[in-house]
Amino acid sequence: MTPIIILIIILALVFDFLNGIHDSSNIVATMIASRAYSPRTALGMTAVANFLGPFIFGVAVAETIGNEVVDSAAINLLVILTALLSAILWNLITWYLGFPSSSSHAMVGGLIGAVLVGAGWEAILLPGLIKVLLTLLLSPLIGFVFGFLILKILILLSWNATPKVNTVFKRSQIFTSISLALSHGTNDAQKTMGIITLTLVTAGVLETFVVPEWVVFACASMIAFGTAVGGWRLIRTLGGKIFRIKPIDGFGSQLASTVVILGASLIGGPVSTTQVVSSSIMGVGAAERMNKVRWGVGKDIATAWVLTRYWAAPSGTGRPARLRPRIAQAWPRSEAAPLLHSDLAVVL
pLDDT tens across 5-27, in order? 999 999 999 989 888 877 776 67
Residues 279-306: tens digit of each pLDDT: 888 899 888 877 767 666 566 656 666 6
| pLDDT over 70 at 346, yes or no | no
| pLDDT over 90 at 229, yes or no | no
Residue 330: band (very low, low, confident or very high) from pLDDT cuts 50, 70, 90? very low
pLDDT at site 1 = 79
What is the number of structural domains in the chain? 1
Residues 323-335, mean pLDDT to the nearest whole number:
35
3-class DSSP state of 289: coil
| pLDDT over 60 at 148, yes or no | yes
| pLDDT over 80 at 338, yes or no | no
Mean pLDDT lowest among 41-45, 117-121, 163-167, 340-344:
340-344
Choose between 117 and 214: higher pLDDT: 214
Phi/psi class of residue 230: alpha, beta or left (left: φ > 0; alpha: ψ in -120 to 50)? left
Is residue 346 one of the residues assigned to a domain?
A: no
- What are all long-range contacts of 296-304, with beta carbons under 8 Å and residues at least 24 apart? 297/237, 297/241, 297/242, 298/242, 300/99, 301/99, 301/100, 301/237, 301/274, 304/94, 304/99, 304/100, 304/101, 304/102
Is residue 42 one of the residues assigned to a domain?
A: yes
Residue 136: band (very low, low, confident or very high) from pLDDT cuts 50, 70, 90? confident
Whole-number mean pLDDT of the chain? Answer: 78
Is residue 307 one of the residues assigned to a domain?
A: yes
Is residue 286 one of the residues assigned to a domain?
A: yes
pLDDT at site 154 = 92
Is residue 345 one of the residues assigned to a domain?
A: no
pLDDT at site 312 = 37
Is residue 347 one of the residues assigned to a domain?
A: no
| pLDDT over 60 at 246, yes or no | yes
pLDDT at site 11 = 94
**Dist CA 297 CA 102 (whole Å):** 16
**Dist CA 238 CA 278 (whole Å):** 7
Q: Which residues pair with 70 in a beta bridge?
A: 124
**Phi, psi for 119 (deg, rounded to 5):** -135, -20
Residues 83-128: tens digit of each pLDDT: 899 888 887 877 677 665 677 778 888 888 888 888 888 889 999 9
Choose between 174 and 36: higher pLDDT: 174
CA distances in angstroms from 337 to 81, 162, 343, listed in the order given: 11, 66, 10
Choose between 307 and 14: higher pLDDT: 14
Give the range of the structural domain holding residue 143, as residue numbers without chain letter. 3-338
Is residue 348 one of the residues assigned to a domain?
A: no
Is residue 179 one of the residues assigned to a domain?
A: yes
